[in-house]
Chain A
């Protein structure tokens, strides 16, 4: 009994100490605005590439279950917010020094986003991270891009059909706009699928479909998914995808990010 009390009070003490140090740290930086996302099940066009019997096929639509309550930033990380991380020497400087504070931070690589998430987690005593592609797609709601099959036969026709689809969606003005310029979706999130593509944590995966079920066979975590008007697969160190990446694709106009906060406390990890 005594041991249990000792353990309990030690844990309580730890919790109090952590909470106190959190509030000390939090005094120096505001917590971001978050929207809560409840656990849910939804249909999702799987990411990556798929083959069946050795032939490339369209991605299947799968059921995804979001198991945990999580919160997602209402808007993309801004220039002003990102600069705090740079000032703390925890993030690499932004390419554009003179960008205004209320613009989304762009020309940011997946690695930059990781640095920022780690720094913010330390500062606020909570676990911030990039969303998975499923989480982002669910939170994006009606603004999630159309990744449905292109309804054509062979891989080459699919290539051209994808090019046509992306051509129609390409933002007419790629200049970053002040937060909120692209409006809110039904979940209260701002600027989803505007002209900034947002990094997710999800790696590029190649899967085979056997007995109707996808099974991942290769994963390349040097390439991550960036979501916006269409799904893009970008190397994790790239800050500016417009140079093309491939000779023939329609690259993201800008690369930025927003973070998710897990409901588990920071010290749980």
Chain B
């Protein structure tokens, strides 16, 4: 089992099980070919770990990422997760927080935004899901291998969220706190807005198998305090 997966299962068992709610903000899976892939041994292991949380009374909320956006109803039933739209305004410990995966705000990457708009339509998804599971896995594999990367535009700019898209989201959601991931740039950004300070937390990616081991999560206590925590698996090494 990859170290990253072990760290996730460890987190679910040791940490998430102590919480009242767990929000997962996307790309928990490297790829998701469709809910008919639930019986895959690896997928089943993750889903079972999440289902145990539900049995322990932890409310589980799931937002899709750009890699696992095909997660659907069968997954939700098997894992006990409530599927959230992106973005979603959550009320956690009396605090309104806008949650989002993050890719929808990388608006400078126009080629990606076009790709995203296409694959998030029900027409595209129905057509894709009509293919056999092996066919779908092959397509995902080729996408991931980068054979179609060249078509993703010629921008020389390392993608990040667009500042005005973020400002819009704060505005539309009427919140002063945002949490997202996707960009692999863990940070706590303070955005001044008039006399208010809006705070945007960016989660790290998790990778304990390549390069510098990394990963984090945010704990929100009953008073609404937000604290960034490192993975226990990182502290052990």
State whether these chains interact. no
What residues of chain A have their CB less than 8 Å away from a CB belonging to chain B? none
